[in-house]
Amino acid sequence: MRENDMLEKEEIFSKVLRAGRRTYFFDVRATRADDYYITITESKKFTEEDGSFHFKKHKIYLYKEDFAAFNEILNDMTSYVLNHKGEEVISERHQKDFKREYTTERIEEAAKAASFTDVDFDDI
């Protein structure tokens, strides 16, 4: 049995945060010595032009000896952002009235596609 398979069976506690096309998994796992550590996994969905999709995953392993420092830095960073930019999301993708701007190339392509001639092959 692979070591990763063994780790997957030793999941103790989990929480999930769904955030748009990203999902964050927070898992408490047990080592072989029955000590605990945390994994944080970001799973991001990518959709292809043909409608198929795939996920890219990134995982962080966080061990007990690093909890205090990690928590302190995370709190410092989130406080900094909130203190300097507030809680309002200012990304244009999150604005309620956001409309995607198309480049002139896309507009020209759409115009060409709309101006085709409808040919009935029985007429040829």
pLDDT tens profile 70-87: 999 999 999 999 999 888
- Report CA-CA distances (Å) from 56 to 5, 24, 43: 19, 12, 6
**Distance between CA atoms of residues 124 and 122, nearest Å:** 6
Q: What is the pLDDT of residue 116?
A: 47
- Token readout for 14 is 């989990």
Kindly give the parts of the chain with pLDDT less than 50: 1, 7, 102-107, 110, 113-116, 124
**Distance between CA atoms of residues 110 and 11, nearest Å:** 51
**Distance between CA atoms of residues 71 and 94, nearest Å:** 28
In the three-class reduction of DSSP (H, G, I as helix; E, B as strand; rest coil), residue 110 is classed as helix
Q: What is the pLDDT of residue 97?
A: 55
Q: What is the pLDDT of residue 104?
A: 47
End-to-end CA distance of the chain: 67
Q: What is the pLDDT of residue 16?
A: 95
Does residue 96 contact residue 80 with C-beta atoms inside 8 Å?
no
